[in-house]
Amino acid sequence: MDLKLFSSVGQLSNLELLARVKSLALSERQATTALIAHLAELEERGLHLAEGYSSLFIYCTQVLHLSEHAAYGRIEAARVVRKFPLLLEWLEDGSVNLTTVGLIAGQLTPENHRELLDMTRHKSKRQVEELLARLRPQPPVSASVRRLPTTRHAATAPPLDTVSLQPVGDRQSSAPVGSVTTTRSGPSSASATPELPSPVPTPSRTHPALVTPLAPQRYKVQFAASAETVEKLRRAQALLRHQIPDGDPAAIFDRALTTLLETLAKQKLAATERPRGSRGLTPRSRHIPAEVKRAVWLRDRVRCAFVGSNGCRCAEQGFLEFHHVTPYAAGGEPTADNIQLRCRAHNGYEAELDFGLRPPTGREGGARVLHALPEPAARARGWSSRRKLGPGRVRSGQSSGPRSRDLGILTLVDPGSGR
């Protein structure tokens, strides 16, 4: 990259940088769309064959130096565009992306392509997968537990048992529910292969968890687990035979997750059926009372409450922390009015703004214009008056003691539904 260009980027204000990034993203979409259109015509003419390449994929990777993933996505889109030219407009304006095209390519027909493209406009991959599961439901899958093969010569220690669990899609499936298929790996004990010297251990291949929509309200869940987890599952199946005679892992995991969420609600949300009366606030204490935690979790609906300058609220639901709107160091009290949920990233971001770790230069487009930690006189003028609070504040006089059943609902539904 040109160092002068990099230096010039550093001179942009926040508003200029945001505008430039959006302009560059538009230019990239336009260039990608033009490339897709040209690839469609190039393949139609067979020019890659005349150049000495047996496939368009090889031409893209060896001549255009695209990555395998980029080449595959653009070629697939080019072939769809030959049938449905309207797709070029949708790609250019960002209504759909290459990931969406790859998911719906096999479902597009002359009769439904306009409707299907409109249904997938600005949808995420997960949303498109769920949409396709509603339109084209897949048959259910049976639960299975099997031992995954280990990498040969990966280590001198015995291989760790791992399993892949697939909750049942329909208990009326013809396949046996909860069946166990074991595959032994490694050389046989009777093998005459000489013992190798201690090899350097190599990491085994990872098996990421998969959640695949099959039909409305039905998913296939697949993940790898340790031998200890499998043993716990089998013990739970044995103990629950009266309630779950077929030992369905999906039903067992649903019960386990429900119990886990109830426990987490008590630990993190201070949920309880019989909340105690407030003991009042201890002056200059960092301790956040349980009734304040319950009120904040319920009010912010288990989601970061940071609101950007454009009015967009952060959608993060993980790594949530309690945030003092008026910082504790500036006299902020642990009350429901002064405590909000923040994800770790935004909590750190606001701390940098509050205490001057982020330079104020070019921050004219930010939602909050704060300064370094003020002196007592500045605090008296009102720190929080310069801050833009997030949505859903608990007003003075409102109840701040929801019971655990209210908080339990939040742990069992998508917090995003409360936007």
Cβ within 8 Å of residue 162, ≥6 positions away: 147, 148, 207, 224, 225, 226, 227
305-362 tens-digit pLDDT:
999 888 899 999 999 999 999 998 888 889 999 999 999 999 999 988 888 766 544 4
pLDDT band of residue 283 (cuts 50, 70, 90) is confident
What are the tokens at 247?
């030992």
Number of residues that this document lists for the chain: 419
Instruction: Give per-residue burial for 266-278: e unless 16+ CB within 10 Å, then b.
Output: eeebbbbeebeee
pLDDT band of residue 205 (cuts 50, 70, 90) is low
pLDDT band of residue 376 (cuts 50, 70, 90) is very low
Report yes or no: 223 and 230 within 8 Å, Cβ to Cβ: no
pLDDT band of residue 370 (cuts 50, 70, 90) is very low
Closest CA to 252 of 279, 225, 271, 274: 225
Which residue is it, tokens 């001057």?
A: 356
Report yes or no: 60 and 43 within 8 Å, Cβ to Cβ: no
Query: Which percentage of the chain shows pLDDT scores above 70?
Result: 70
pLDDT band of residue 207 (cuts 50, 70, 90) is low
Which residue is it, tokens 């997938």?
A: 120
99-110 tens-digit pLDDT:
999 999 999 999
Per-residue confidence (pLDDT) for residue 7, from 0 to 100: 79
Pick 378 or 122 by higher pLDDT. 122
Query: What's the rounded Cα separation, in Å, for the pair 130 and 133?
Result: 5
Cβ within 8 Å of residue 294, ≥6 positions away: 269, 270, 271, 275, 400, 401, 402, 407
